[in-house]
Structures are given as C-alpha cells and as structure tokens.
Structure 1
Amino acid sequence: MKLVVQVKLLPSSEQAAALEATLRACNRAATHVAAVAFEQGVKDRNGLHKLLYTNIKATFGLSAQPAVRVVKKVVDAYTALAAQAKAGLLGKPTSKRYLKAMSGPVSFRPEAAQPFDDRCLSWQADACTVSIWTVDGRLKGIRYTASADQLKTLTEHRRGESDLVQRKGKWYLLATCEVPELEVYEPVDWIGVDRGIVNLATTSDGTNYQGRRLTRYRRWQARKRAELQAKGTRSAKRRLARRSGKEQRHAMHVNHRISKEIVSVAQRTGRGIAVEVLDGIRDRVRLRRDQRGRISSWPFHQLGQHLAYKARRAGVPYLEVDPAYTSQRCPRCGHTERSNRPTRDHFCCRRCGLAGPSDHVAGVNVRDRARSAWAFVTMPVPARPERSIREPSGRCDP
C-alpha cells in the first residue's frame, strides 16, 4: 500500500531563496503549459511534450527532467478535473461552479507543490540530507527532520516521486512510500463501530470516544476567529493566517488516535472492524440553521479512511455494512421501530424491553451485520456434480 511521509526541510536562507525561485518558475511554466493545452485542445502527455518541451526549457530556465515533470503535472491536473466533472463533484453542467471550472485553463498558484523524481532529487538517509535541483544549480546537503517512525519508513520503503511544498514560510518534502501489507487473517469475530457527532465513535465492546472536547475546541476556535475578523486590523489578519488549519489538524490528530486504538484492539483479539457506509449522509438529511456548522465539520469520512488504511497495514479485516436502521433495531429480538430510540442517547425496545446507550446498540447492530455479511462472502460455493463424458456411440440413448 502507498503511504505519504512528510519530512521538514531545514534550509539556510540562501537555500530557501533558491527553493522558492524554483517553485515559482515551475508553476509559471505549468500555468503556461495549461493555457496552451486548453487553447489547442492537446491534453495528452506525448502531445504536450512534443509541443512545448523545448519552449519550457528556453523560456523558464528549466532543465530537461523538471520540464518533463511540469508537463506531467499539467496532464494530471486536467485528468483530475475531468474525473471530478464525470463524477458530478463540480455540480450539474449548467451550474456556475461547473462552468467556471471547465470554461478556462487550469492555473497554478506560485507556491503550489512541485513533484521531483529521483533524477532531480536524491536522498542521503544516513546523513538525513537531500540533494535537489534548483534554477540556481543543484543544492546539496539540505538537512531534513521527522519522527523516528517516519524516518524508518522513508529509509526502507520510499519509491517514486517526492513533492516539494512550502507552507507559511516552511519547507516540506512529501515522499511516496510503498509499504507491504500483511496478509488479512480470518477474524474470530467483529468490532462494530458506530460513528457520530456527539460520540465520535462507539464500539460494540462499549468503548466510547466522546466528541465533547472536540466540539468545545471547535466553538472556541470559531469564537476567536469571529473576534479577529471583527477587528479587521493588519495584526488580526496576520493572527488569522497563523491560526488557519489548526482546527483541522487537531481533528485529524483525534481521528488518528481513535483509529489507532481500535485497530490495535482488533489485531490483539483477532477480530475484524466493521463500520457503516455513511456516504452522502449530508445530502440525505435536512438540518436546522444552527446544526449546519456541526455536521459540515463532522470528520466521519476521515475517521473511516484512517481505520481502513491502518487495518490494511496491520492485516485486520475491514468491512462496510448497510447503515439502515442500525440505531432503531433491537439486536436481541430484531424489532425495528423509531420509538425504540426515545432520545438521542437512550435505546429501549418496545417489544422485549432491551435498554442501553443508543450508540452502543448501533455498534452491536453493525457487528451483527458484519457477521452475516462475512459469512455470506466466505460461504463455499457448492460444486456442481461432474458429468461423465462418454464417447459418441452414433446413436441416441433414450
């Protein structure tokens, strides 16, 4: 499986200036290539290479391999745009967003990420340094740092391209690593995971990961943003820029911690992980005005992604099941009714009287559906009886 390892570069002021000039030159070249590709309708790699390769090197001062990477970057951008339009992510063909995206060429920000392959970028893992091509010549001995686990993964499994990224004056390299997957074992049982807003995740074992602290943190961040936006001074705008992305990173850290613990429990007990399919849930529900902010910032999809890739890496079976009525169905007698859940936090079956926390009951229902789904998937197909093959006798038997 593919993982991305992020390392932080520690360049000197001269090296940082050369990296910034390189990034801006590559993005100017990419914007030029994208404009020509849109005007002439040539968006394949070979066509753009023949059309603009020499021009890119002469006009923007790029070497051979960086020019090739710029062309590939533009081709990938148009391919991604076409895929988004085909999947309906840009809206209907008559919508403003669709028309804005498809009516003009793709453009690249001056600080947009730039991919480098092994011909432009080399790693010295023992010294924790990199050598990278720039418009001012090749820079050697640029130090980098990361956690011990990331450095180990980078040394053992790095493959393919690495992206040069600049964020708020700091430099990073995003390296692609091919990490081998463990063989998925046969689960002895399943851990059902119910995802929610009040409780971010609740397992069928009864473990509850509450979202109160994250909700309070989001409210505090929203209040601080509103205060700084109301001031409108240059200092307030600088503080807003420094705070941007902080809430998102905090939510990602919470999801990493929750998913790591669930996968660890499943691996230790020999069980699999089952979650509900919640795709499109924001389009299916109607919300009050005061609820829109909470559900729009609900990171359930990210939690599912973390669970999926951590389970694959650990060899833990991972399954997605139908979410219909998991919070209204009684796991003991099977009775399904809306009144089984009188409040958000409590479940009480109207038929058999089973009662308990509603999210725990939903997690048990997810586990039960995973058991049935896995049994159906792994059910052996009955072999057809073999027919004896006889030599033709030249006559029709009755």
Structure 2
Amino acid sequence: MKKNVLVVHGGGPTPVMNASLYGVVQEAKRHGDIGAVYGAMGGMEGILKEDLVDLMAIDENELKKLLSTPGSAIGSSRFPLTEEQYEEMAKIIGKYGISYLLPNGGNGTMDTCGRINRACVALGNTDVKVVGIPKTIDNDIAITDHTPGFGSAARYMAGTVKEIAEDVRSLPIHVCVIEALGRNSGWITASSVLAREKAGDAPHLIYTPERPFCQEEFLEDVKKLYDELGGVVVVVSEGLKGKDGNPIVEPIFKTERAIYYGDVSTHLANLVVKELGIKARSEKPGLAGRSSIAWQSEVDRDEAMETGEMALRLAILGKSGIMVGIERVETQDQSYETRFIEIPIDQVMMYEKTLPVEYINGRGNDVTEAFSKWCRPLVGEKLQSFINIKDIRREKQI
C-alpha cells in the first residue's frame, strides 16, 4: 500500500514558500512507495474541510512554475485551532492514509505542527510522521541560522533602499523614512545595510525594535546628517518601541498573535517636518517585500527547495516531531556553506528570535559589520552598482 504525503501552509507567504512545496513533490517522485502528495487548500482549514489537491497529478511543466511563483499556490491561513479540531484533523489524516505530514510556516505553524503531532499520538496513530518546514521573511524562528524566505525579503529591502537612495542623492532636499516589516525582530530592517557600497552611502540610519527608540536622538541624528549631506535615507522597523516598551505608533488592529501597526514611517517623517522644519516623506513597501519574484534570491530559492526535500526525506526515515533547520559550516576559505539539522519541534514553538546585541551599534541607529558579513551570502548575486559622477569627478578632477 502506497503512503501519502500532506503539505499545509500557514501564516504569511514568502517569495520562496512554493519552492519548498516543489521540493517536497520532487522528493516524493524519487520514492516508489509514495502515492499522493496532497496540498491542503487554504491552510489548516483546508484539512478540516478535506479540501485537498494531489500535486502529483499536475504536469511537471506547470509544477515547475512553483519556483517562480510568489505567495502560496495552495493558500495559507492564520486559522486558530481548538483542541477538538486538532483531534478532528488527526482523524482526517488517518482517513486519507497520510503517513507524512509537513506543515510549512513560522512560529505559529510550528506550534500547530507540535500539537498535531501530539494529537496523532494520542489517537494511537503513531505511524504519522510530522516534520516542520521553516518559513518566514521575519527570520525569527529559534535555533536555525536563518529561514527560507528571509534571503529574498532581505534582497528586496536592500535593493529597494539602494534605488530610493539614488533618487534622494539626485534631489537631496528631503529626508526619506522607509518602513520595513518584522514585528518584534529587526532582521529585515537590518538587511537594508547591504545597499551600501562604501562609507557614507545610504541607508544613513537604521533603527530596529531590539533597542528602545529615542525620539530626541533620532532628531539629532537626522539633523546632523541633513546638514552634512542634504538628503538622508532612514530605515525603520514597523515594530519600533519606546523606552516604556510600547509601540511608538499605536497599533490599529490586534489579533491573538498578530499586530497591525500604524504607519511608523509616516509618523517619523511628520516628526521631522514639524520638529526640524525639513521636508520629509515616507515609504512603506509592505507586502511588496514578500511577494516580489523580481528580487528573489537564488540562494534563498534553492535552500527553500532543498528544505522541502529534506523534510520529506527525514519523515520517510521515521523522524517525527522535528523541524528542519539550517546550520552554517565553518570553512577554511570563509565561503558560505550550510547543512541541515534536526530541531525538536518543542524548541521552536511560539519563540521569536531577535537580532543579537552584537549586530547593533552602540547608539542603536545602525547595524555592525558582523551583521553584514552574516547576511550578505543569503541575498544571492551582488546588487547592481550605479554610477556616481560626483565621486568620479572628485577622484579624477574632471
């Protein structure tokens, strides 16, 4: 009797979430005893509704488009589950002959992954192997060096900031405040540093949520740089908090886990105008940063696909109650190399990994070279360089 696979997506999509899905299908095709690879349509609700599609039945030419399709091709959700629904899902998994369950998502999904695993064990269905596939642009899952999805979001942020910086350099009359996603972790915000090619390049200021935001210091920093440069580019996290631990802009909507912040970039741009009398504007890329295939990192895409493959491989080997993790390998030539590790699921359930202190500078308005070194390999091909005639003129005295 053939064994079936079930993949379910949870939480916000990424530019490479579908690459992990593709990896699962490709790995399944290498094993003759695998029957169907079901995708739960619409996340966890898809299981409860028994809305499953067999991905093995899709033509390979179409299936390969998963590698360059943003979002989640099978849908996703943040559907809160009750204990009764976990039990119901375990029964449905048994009904469809699912031997391998592979939830793909972030902290919340890994929590769900652990709970489903326990529900299956409680029903005596110990033959079901549950292995989590990590996914989040926020890069805030514990233990793993980084998560599939982050590299592409980081590449998008760095590339976008680099392009905006050229606009500001061309007409240096204002301060531009760019807001990055990331809630309580500043990984995406910090990645904007890769827009710099040399000292003095934008972003000129970077503020992450790991340090309390000081309005007075922010205004001092902006004024000093504006007097020196004219145009200033600032990158801030949507989750900036003051010394009291509260968001600097009151959230406009909250759920059990998610917080929808107000426009931090607009607030700070308005602050610059009112307090300093300097023209300022805000930019908030938002979902564009997690849905851009144009800025997809090939390193991120390949690792996402391989993570999907590894998840099924481990499940077939009888592993369960784990998440696939990525670990860096030290090399003599300091080249980028990784290997996959097994992480017990209970070590990553609902735990947020934030930027370590050594990645943030003393004043809290920039990141360190240690962060740049860590992040640079994940974004793939080096960002395009732009001509700077002012520098050429200065160097060659033309």
TM interval, short-chain normalised:
under 0.3
Q: In terms of Rg, which structure is larger?
A: 1
Q: Higher helix proportion, which one? A: 1
The structure with higher relative contact order (CA 8 Å, sep 6+) is: 2
